[in-house]
Structures are given as structure tokens and as C-alpha cells.
A and B are shown apart, each in its own frame.
Chain A
Amino acid sequence: MDLVGLLKELLFDYTLRTVALGAGTLGVVSGALGSYAVLRKQSLLGDATSHAALPGIALAFLLTGSKAPPILVLGAAAAGWIATLLMMSIVRTTRIKDDSALGMVLSVFFGFGLVLLTFIQKMPDASQAGLEKFLFGQAATTLERDVMTMIALSALVLVTMVAFWKEFKLLSFDPDFGASLGFPVRLLDVLLTTLIVVAIVLGLQTVGVVLMSAMVVAPAAAARQWTDRLGGMVGLAALFGALAGVSGAMISSSAARLPTGPTIVLCVSAIVLFSLLLAPNRGLLWNWVRHQRNRRRLQMAAVLADLYTLASQHETVEHAHSITVLRAMSAGRGGVEYSLKELAARGLVRQVSPADWALTPEGQEEAERLSK
């Protein structure tokens, strides 16, 4: 399908429009809130919270017998929230560290959720089918009504985040200092974590409990590569999340049997890969280029110094020397010929014969300047 056709469908096709809008919204809110999770070294919080939401979904169904998304999402939110608070209090009151507390809570809740899910599937009633879609998400079943709920909740989350911008920044950077100023950091911690839980739960129907943590961590990690400001990071992460959500929804709709949730996660992973490699300053590619450039500059200086050493053993500076000698002097460094050509291009050396090179007067000055 061509791009124009796809865009047209995005605007006019009800299902695709709904799915893309939902995925985009979840991308914005999980990207923005995920930034805080990443900066506070709670990247795995998303993983624990989303997995822990599963028993909540199952219990909500068992208690109400309803499969209406708002009810199931409410159950998910309650279980995710309880699990997250449990994790925080384990860390605070025992000697158990974050990662272990996280592992414990995640596995216990998720295991319980799977047990409940299996139990539900074995129930004689036929109406139970379809809960397992929360494992990997099923965007196609998203209704416009669901999307409206998502947008409203996302707006609430984002408004709260912006309102407490200064407080959340302080909490993320230096909570002890914040407490010394009189801010109730534990309360702020619970508030911020609650917002993150809401962001995660919003994505469960579309992306599923297993892959949702990627939507929390990946956009934020990618955004961190491009900016050194908190505002920039949060904004960019929201943008990346939206981009991944919408493009994932579009790609999966253009091909048969391509699940939306995993496609969205693949899209966001592509953004992360691109950012890791190509972002200015922090990108691996630019690091490599800088490294190479430095190496070459050092090599050139070394060859120039070698030539200068050789020249100083003769009466005239312009005495030519064989490249073999220079190669021997720079054993292990390599790139002698390349360096000579670069130096010649700058007028610091000249090629006397195919194998012989000599310093120019400028080259001599430069070598003397460098050796000082």
C-alpha cells in the first residue's frame, strides 16, 4: 500500500484511526512519564507494574463477570498500584534492594495472574474468552469510547506532571535536598509513581503486559540521547512514543496478521537503535568518528616529529628521507603514507621522489611549535 493511501486510511478508516489514536496517546503518556522512571533508575518499574496488573484484570473479571475495558483497566490499575507500593515499602523497610524487591513482586503477581487466567479459561461459561489478549495486547478491539477514556486519563496525567514539574524534578535529582526544603518527598514519590502506573495501565489493552515496559523505557532512553534538558527529554520521549504508536498501528494494519502491540514495540526499538548510533554528542557513531579523527591527528603529529628528528641529523632541513625509515620509526602505529599525504596537503612536507619525503620550512616551524 502506498503512503498516500495509508495516510488517507488513517484519516478516514474508523478502525485504523481509532487504533492509531489510541496507540499514539499511549505513546505520548508512557514516553513522558517513562522519562522520570528512567532518570530515577526505575526502568524496571514498568515491567513489574505491567506484569503485576494481570491478576487485577483477572480478578476484576471474576468479581464482576464483565469484560468491559474500563472495569478490567480499573482492576489492572489497582493491582499494579498495590504491587508498586508494596515494592517501594519493601525497599524502605527491609534490607532487600530494589532489584530483588522488583523481582519478587513481579513474579508473585504475574504468577498469580497466570493461575487466575488459566482458571478462568477452564470455566464452563463461554463468555470468558479473550482475557488473554492482555498478555500481548490487541489493539484492533479498541473502540472509540476506549480511546476517549484513554485521552481523558492521559490529559489528567500530563496536566498533573506539568503542574508538579519543579517538584518532580527535585524529587528525581536530589530527594534528600528536597526533603530538607520541606517538600513531602515520600508523598511526591507516591504521586509520581501513581502517574507512571496509570500510564502503564493505559497501554495494557493495546500493547499487553509483557511488552508494555518497552513503551516506558525505550522512548525515554532514545530521547536522553538527543537532549541535555529535562523538558527536552520529556517532550522528545512523548514524541517518540507517539511516533512509534502511530507508525506501529499503521504498519500492522497494512499487512495481514501483524499484531499491533509487538509492531509498536519494534518501531520504538528502531527509534532507540537510531538514537544510540546517530544522536550528536552521545551517539556511538560520532564517538567513533571523533576517536578516529583524534587518532589520525596524533599519527600526523608523530610522523611530522619523526621527520623533524631525521632532519635534525642533517645539515639541510630539506634533506629527503625514505618512507621505509619513517615506517620503522612509527612501528605499530601504521598509516604513515596517509599521514604524509595529509601533511603534504597542508604544505608541511613534500614528496621528493615516490619513496622519499622531506620537511618544508613551514613543516619545520610546525614541528618545533609542537615539540615545545
Chain B
Amino acid sequence: MPAIEVTDLTVAYQHRPVLWDVDLNVPPGVLMAIVGPNGAGKTTLIKAMLGLVRAAAGQVLIYGRPYAEQRRLVAYVPQRGSVDWDFPTNVLDVVMMGLYGTLGWIRRPGRREQARALEALGKVGMQSFADRQISQLSGGQQQRVFLARALVQDAQVYLMDEPFQGVDATTERAIVQLLQDLRAAGKTVVVVHHDLQTVPEYFDWVTLMNVRRIASGPVAEVFTQQNLRLAYGGRVAFLSRDGYAEEPAPTTDRAAESVAASGEG
């Protein structure tokens, strides 16, 4: 059974379609990037999967059942810039918000929730920041706090909106490691991503989008020059490790083989 199954998902803002008839089938235990140009509907896709924007049509199944019935299995990491970091609260408090869903109405977080939040902070290397005001965090630290808030939910499916935006190289490596650990633990992780160059290195699955779904599948199969052209309108400048390449050059051997194979086939 697929971890995520999206059928015919369509979203329109003021009659302008931002997502058009999107199908997606993500098996459990993969680390998948969603890439596409600006305005391609990547964020909208995630929000529509979570029911945060109303879909005009289509359905989303998590492990075979509608999202509303499977909330406990899904954790969401919104864009860092979507909240006001000057809000009067501290790191531990924000992480504990991840447990509000299981706490239910009225009940307040207690010692047990604190312990779990601290544990999650430990996983992102932020345990010593528990009492820190969130306004005093750097961009990378903010991102890690958001990740800890999702980790504490102990979900099966993680939907993340640009977790690498505005973080330094060290934090990016730490986050990648974390995502790969999640995959190793059998979780399904879906990440809106911007940096095409790192896709083959970080992810094993990829979905290319531009309002419609262009392609979706294992990186080795679908992260091809042709699909990138389709998604980015043929003007994609692709920087490989060796410098500027005229043709989008896949950066791992696996991907290189697949492009060669698809070229021959």
C-alpha cells in the first residue's frame, strides 16, 4: 500500500489553476523531493494534501485512508518564514506544540510532553536551547526547531516545505542526515526543494512539477534532462559539480547510467 496516494488533485485560486489534475503515488520508506519553478504549486500541493487549502477536485489517501482519518500519521513542517519569530515563547514550548494534537482539547502539556520535546530537540542538536527565546534563534536554528516539532509527533509521513531555505551548509548537512535517518527508520519524507544540483545526492525519489505533475518516481528514472526541460520550460541552467555544464549532467553515477540508458532506449 502506498504511503501517499494523490488522485486528480486540482486547486484553483480565483479561477486560476495552481494545481491541475495531479496524481502522486509515493511508496513507504522513500525520501522524495518536490521540485519545480516558482509558482509551480509545490507549496500548494503540500497544503492541499494537508487540507490547508481547499481542493477543487481530487483526493488524498494516507496509507489507504483519507487524510482526516490519518492525521496522527502525518507531520507537517511549514516554511520557516510563515510564522512571526518574535512571538513571546521559547524553544521548548514551540516543540511541544507538536504534541497538542495527541493531547486533544483543553489539556495542557506536562512533564511527559516536556521530556519528549527535549528528546526531539536532542535529535536536532538543540537540547541546550530549550529555554531560549525563539526571537534569538538564527535561521538554521529556527528550522531545526520546526523539525523537532515534527519529530515529536512521531509520524509515519513527513511533509516539509523548504526545510533548507536560508540555512548554512553545516545545518543543511545535519538536516539531510536527519531526513535520511527518518527514511532508514521506514518513514516517508516529502520535501519541497529548490536546489536541483543536490537532488540526486540527497533524495531517492523526486516529483517534478509545473502546475501539472511532469514526472514522479525514483531519481534515477525520472530526474532526466528531458523532464527538467518540461518542468522548467527548457531554460534550465544546470550547474554540475565539475562546473557549468551545457547539458544537465546528472551528478551521481546511478543517475548518469539511467540517463544513458534512457537515451539509448
Contacts and interface: CB of A to CB of B under 8 A. Distances in A.
Contacts of B71: 180-182
Interface in B109-129: 109
B87 A177 contact: no
Main secondary structure of the interface of A (DSSP, over half): helix
B38 to A, nearest CB: 20
B226 interface: no
Contacts of B108: 165-166
A170 B76 contact: no
A164 B97 CA distance: 14
B170 interface: no
Nearest to A232: B88
A182 B101 contact: yes
A371 B32 CA distance: 50
A346 to B, nearest CB: 31
A233 B78 CA distance: 26
A169 B78 contact: no
Contacts of A173: 83-84, 87, 89, 94, 97
Interface stretch (A57-65, A75-83, A222-230): A222-230
Contact of A230 (B82, B88, B149): B88
B51 interface: yes
B81 to A, nearest CB: 12
A95 B88 contact: no
B63 interface: no
A177 B84 CA distance: 13
A176 interface: yes
A163 interface: yes
B100 A183 contact: yes
Contacts of A227: 88
B83 A224 contact: no
Contacts of B107: 166
Interface string A192-227: 000000000000000000000000000000001001
B133 to A, nearest CB: 5
A228 B91 CA distance: 12
Contact of B97 (A163, A174, A228): A174
Given A176-B52, A180-B52, A169 B82 contact: no
A164 B52 CA distance: 22
A148 B210 CA distance: 61
Interface in B69-102: 71, 74, 76, 78, 82-84, 87-90, 94, 97, 100-101
Given A164-B106, A181-B71, A176 B100 contact: no
B90 A176 contact: no
A182 B89 CA distance: 22
B78 A174 contact: yes
Interface string B2-36: 00000000000010000000000000000000000
A167 interface: yes
A228 B100 contact: no
Most buried by A among B50, B68, B89, B94: B89
Contacts of A174: 78, 82-83, 97
A172 interface: yes
Nearest to B106: A163
Nearest to B136: A228
B105 A167 contact: yes
B154 to A, nearest CB: 13
A228 B82 contact: no
Most buried by B among A166, A181, A182, A227: A181
A111 interface: no
A179 B52 contact: yes
B138 interface: no
Interface of B: 14, 47, 50-52, 68, 71, 74, 76, 78, 82-84, 87-90, 94, 97, 100-101, 103, 105-109, 133, 135, 149
20 contacts: A95-B14, A166-B103, A166-B106, A166-B108, A167-B105, A169-B97, A173-B89, A173-B94, A174-B78, A174-B82, A176-B82, A177-B76, A178-B100, A180-B50, A180-B74, A181-B100, A182-B68, A182-B71, A229-B88, A230-B89
The 10 A-B pairs at the shortest CB distance, nearest first, are namely A181-B101, A180-B76, A228-B133, A182-B71, A180-B50, A174-B83, A173-B87, A228-B88, A233-B88, A230-B88
Interface of A: 39, 41, 95, 163-167, 169-170, 172-174, 176-183, 224, 227-230, 232-233
Given A39-B88, A169-B97, 19 more contacts: A39-B84, A163-B106, A164-B106, A166-B103, A166-B107, A170-B97, A173-B84, A173-B87, A174-B82, A174-B97, A176-B76, A177-B76, A183-B101, A228-B88, A228-B90, A228-B135, A230-B88, A230-B89, A232-B88
